[in-house]
A and B are shown apart, each in its own frame.
Chain A
Amino acid sequence: MIFWEIAKRNIRIHLLRSTLAMLGIVIGVVAIASMGILGNSLVLTVSDSLKTVGDSVIVTPHVGGTMGGFSGGAGGSSSLRITEQNFQQIKRASAPNVAIPILQTSDRMKLGVGSDDIVAAIYGLNPDDVPDLLKLKEGGYSRGNSGCLVGSTFATDHNVKVGSRIAIGTDGNKGTLRVTGIIEERGMAFDVSTDSAIVVTKDWFDETYNRDDYDKVVIKVKNLDDLPAVKTAIENQMNKRDKIVDVVDTRKTMETIFSAFGQITTFVSAIGGISMLVAGVSILNIMMMSVTERIKEIGIMRSIGAQRKEVMSMFLYEALILGVVGSLIGGAMSLLGGYAISSVLLKTTKYLFVYSSLIHIVYGMSFGIVISLICGIYPAWRAANLNPIDALRHE
């Protein structure tokens, strides 16, 4: 392994320029790995936020479609709604899965004597359906019409506790509700986003806002493999003649979102890859310098019996050492960088030490080594194919 030894020593005596070449690889690995880790952490963060709603089919009135069996109305956030008859059809089509009708509006409310009015979203749900949809972190579910649940952000922002009272409407003209429970944080959701909202009983909602229809229907599918079938069954049932409902499979939506995040991660990693290509050019440049400086040495080696492939291996070893050392340093720095970025941007490092994040360090390091080797091939080939006589004469 004398050629390995010569490669090592040549790097050592040209330590400064070797270090600069390695620095390029280090930057390239850090760029690729950090971007990959950040992208993956974002995907995992969103995935965690959405995982509670990945088991649903959501039915909403088709916007821009014919009115069909749907009612128009005032006082809510939408002018298209689902009637009780439509709901029963949806329920039959999605059986035996649970179909949950949801009412939605927003209104003014006051949280105590002397406090300012605020505006928040209000969801109306059948008390029997609430446990299927929402989990509580404190208190209990409302049974009577005078109780309500509040989202965790709502509770924190307005200092609301179990037992607090909320007056609905301007100056409380629509009645006062007592908080019976605080809902666990749900994050972004396709069905109901309750974190900054309150949840009341359907009866109270109907009575207060004079409603006998629904804004959407959420079907909780027990077996996730049945999601497409449930979606198809509802579409077949409801959109026979005209498209009157939009049916969304939340898992499919999540897959689309994750795919988009994946593409973003790939794109930003590719931008990191450009810095690696620049590093490769630097390696190529340094290897060409190394060959030029050592033409006579190559001529001596060839004249005393070194084969072309042995001369080639000597320069490839040099490129390999630069690539491996640069990639190892880059890998270690990526871990530190990933830790810092996760801590600062995502406020958590729990997504860093997982396979799908750490693999980006392996990708970055592998790319660094491969680029170094590729950029070492031409100088090594050139060295190996020098004419020994010309090389010996070189000064």
Chain B
Amino acid sequence: MDEHPVMVFKDVVKVYPLPSGDVTALDGINFKVGRGEFISIMGPSGSGKSTLLNLMGCLDTPTAGDIYISGTRTGDMSDKELTDLRRDRIGFIFQYFNLFPLLNIIENVTFPMMLKSQEAVDPEKGRAALRAVQLDDSLFTHTPTEVSGGQQQRVAVARALINDPDILLCDEPTGNLDSKTGAGIMELMSELNRKGTTIIMVTHDPNIAKYSHRTIRIADGRIVE
């Protein structure tokens, strides 16, 4: 069992240099995420939520400070190493599902496995992941456009979990769903968290944030509570 926190932000600063002058998106961010936590990040538009999510997902690098994922400092990693880290340790769930339209449901789910193994994978693991998110077997060979938004988001959750990541990053996971379907997805997330999955979720919606155990509020690039 890894004793390190899943994620640590230490004095993280992110500055975007622009022709009109530098813009500080994040300033002195410090927090830790323990294994099995369910955290929501809230804040108004322009507060730095997206920048924070990009840094947590290793899609961007900080201007100053350190980020650790399961004890591994990400600052000195190459693009290849960061890509491997995203593939193996981080699962992404997006607001607009972001499934691949050219692949069917089972291929979408097993895509990260194929990136990892570099060869054909056992589709049975994909089927098991889809059953775990309560998707009907009859939909497995459909393309994403042939299923509903809620079903697409379940597929996205299955894809995010297929490589057993340390952490699940969710960007407004119910933002594109009706309230009933959104509630179903949040029940699923809560169930996954109860089984041990660490989840960090960016949301505007206080009703959705209620599903988490802890909320980090951010304003003007700083954590306010």
Residues of A within 8 A of B (CB): 1-2, 5-6, 9-10, 13, 296-297, 300-308, 310, 388-389, 392
Contact present for A2 and B107 (CB under 8 Å): yes
A6 to B103, CA, bound (A): 7
Contact present for B60 and A9 (CB under 8 Å): no
Taking CB atoms, residues of chain A closer than 8 Å to B59 are: 302-303, 388-389, 392
The answer, yes or no, to whether B134 is at the interface (CB within 8 Å) is no
Contact present for B54 and A297 (CB under 8 Å): no
> With A305-B86, A389-B59 in contact, do A2 and B114 touch (Cβ < 8 Å)?
yes
Closest-CB distance, A307 to chain B (whole angstroms): 5
> With A304-B111, A388-B59 in contact, do A296 and B98 touch (Cβ < 8 Å)?
yes
Partner of B86, one of A2, A5, A6, A303: A303
A6 to B54, CA, bound (A): 27
Taking CB atoms, residues of chain A closer than 8 Å to B62 are: none
Closest-CB distance, B157 to chain A (whole angstroms): 13
> With A305-B116, A308-B79, A389-B59 in contact, do A10 and B111 touch (Cβ < 8 Å)?
no
Tell me whether chain A's interface is mostly helix, strand or loop, or mixed.
helix
Contact present for A1 and B120 (CB under 8 Å): yes
22 examples of A-B residue contacts, CB within 8 angstroms: A1-B120, A2-B103, A5-B103, A6-B100, A6-B102, A6-B103, A9-B103, A13-B102, A302-B59, A303-B57, A303-B59, A303-B86, A304-B111, A304-B112, A304-B115, A305-B83, A305-B87, A306-B83, A306-B87, A306-B115, A308-B80, A392-B59
Closest to A2 in B: B114
Contact present for A10 and B80 (CB under 8 Å): no
Of the candidates A5, A10, A303, A389, the one having the most CB atoms from chain B within 10 angstroms of its own CB is A303
Taking CB atoms, residues of chain B closer than 8 Å to A300 are: 94, 98, 100
A21 to B60, CA, bound (A): 37
Taking CB atoms, residues of chain A closer than 8 Å to B38 are: none
Closest-CB distance, B222 to chain A (whole angstroms): 21
Contact present for A297 and B86 (CB under 8 Å): no
Closest-CB distance, B94 to chain A (whole angstroms): 8
A134 to B103, CA, bound (A): 75
> With A2-B114, A389-B59 in contact, do A302 and B83 touch (Cβ < 8 Å)?
yes
12 extra interface residue pairs, beta carbon distance < 8 Å, beyond A2-B114, A305-B116, A307-B80: A2-B111, A2-B115, A6-B102, A6-B103, A297-B101, A301-B100, A302-B83, A303-B86, A305-B87, A307-B115, A388-B59, A392-B59
Closest to A393 in B: B50
Closest to A310 in B: B115
Closest-CB distance, A113 to chain B (whole angstroms): 88
Closest-CB distance, A89 to chain B (whole angstroms): 81
Taking CB atoms, residues of chain A closer than 8 Å to B102 are: 6, 9-10, 13
The answer, yes or no, to whether B88 is at the interface (CB within 8 Å) is yes
Tell me the residues in window 159-173 of chain B with beta carbons closer than 8 Å to chain A beta carbons: 159-160, 163
Taking CB atoms, residues of chain A closer than 8 Å to B57 are: 303
> With A300-B98, A389-B59 in contact, do A305 and B107 touch (Cβ < 8 Å)?
no
Contact present for A389 and B60 (CB under 8 Å): yes
The answer, yes or no, to whether B84 is at the interface (CB within 8 Å) is yes
> With A2-B111, A2-B114, A296-B98 in contact, do A304 and B159 touch (Cβ < 8 Å)?
yes
The answer, yes or no, to whether B92 is at the interface (CB within 8 Å) is yes
Contact present for A305 and B114 (CB under 8 Å): no
Contact present for A305 and B79 (CB under 8 Å): no
Taking CB atoms, residues of chain B closer than 8 Å to A305 are: 83-84, 86-88, 112, 115-116, 163
Partner of B87, one of A5, A6, A304: A304
Taking CB atoms, residues of chain A closer than 8 Å to B79 are: 308
A-B pairs with the 6 shortest C-beta distances?
Answer: A305-B87, A9-B102, A300-B98, A2-B114, A305-B115, A305-B86
Tell me the residues in window 134-159 of chain B with beta carbons closer than 8 Å to chain A beta carbons: 159
Taking CB atoms, residues of chain B closer than 8 Å to A13 are: 102
A145 to B92, CA, bound (A): 105
Contact present for B100 and A297 (CB under 8 Å): yes
A306 to B113, CA, bound (A): 11
Closest to A385 in B: B79
A10 to B92, CA, bound (A): 24
Of the candidates A1, A297, A304, the one having the most CB atoms from chain B within 10 angstroms of its own CB is A304
Closest-CB distance, B223 to chain A (whole angstroms): 21
Closest to A395 in B: B96
A301 to B87, CA, bound (A): 10
Closest-CB distance, A317 to chain B (whole angstroms): 13
A300 to B95, CA, bound (A): 12
A171 to B115, CA, bound (A): 97
Taking CB atoms, residues of chain B closer than 8 Å to A9 are: 102-103
Closest to B84 in A: A305
Closest to A6 in B: B102
Taking CB atoms, residues of chain A closer than 8 Å to B88 are: 305
Contact present for A304 and B114 (CB under 8 Å): no
Tell me the residues in window 58-103 of chain B with beta carbons closer than 8 Å to chain A beta carbons: 59-60, 79-80, 83-84, 86-88, 92, 94, 98, 100-103
Closest-CB distance, B133 to chain A (whole angstroms): 16
A5 to B102, CA, bound (A): 9
Closest-CB distance, B26 to chain A (whole angstroms): 14
Closest-CB distance, B59 to chain A (whole angstroms): 5
Contact present for A389 and B54 (CB under 8 Å): yes
Closest-CB distance, B175 to chain A (whole angstroms): 15
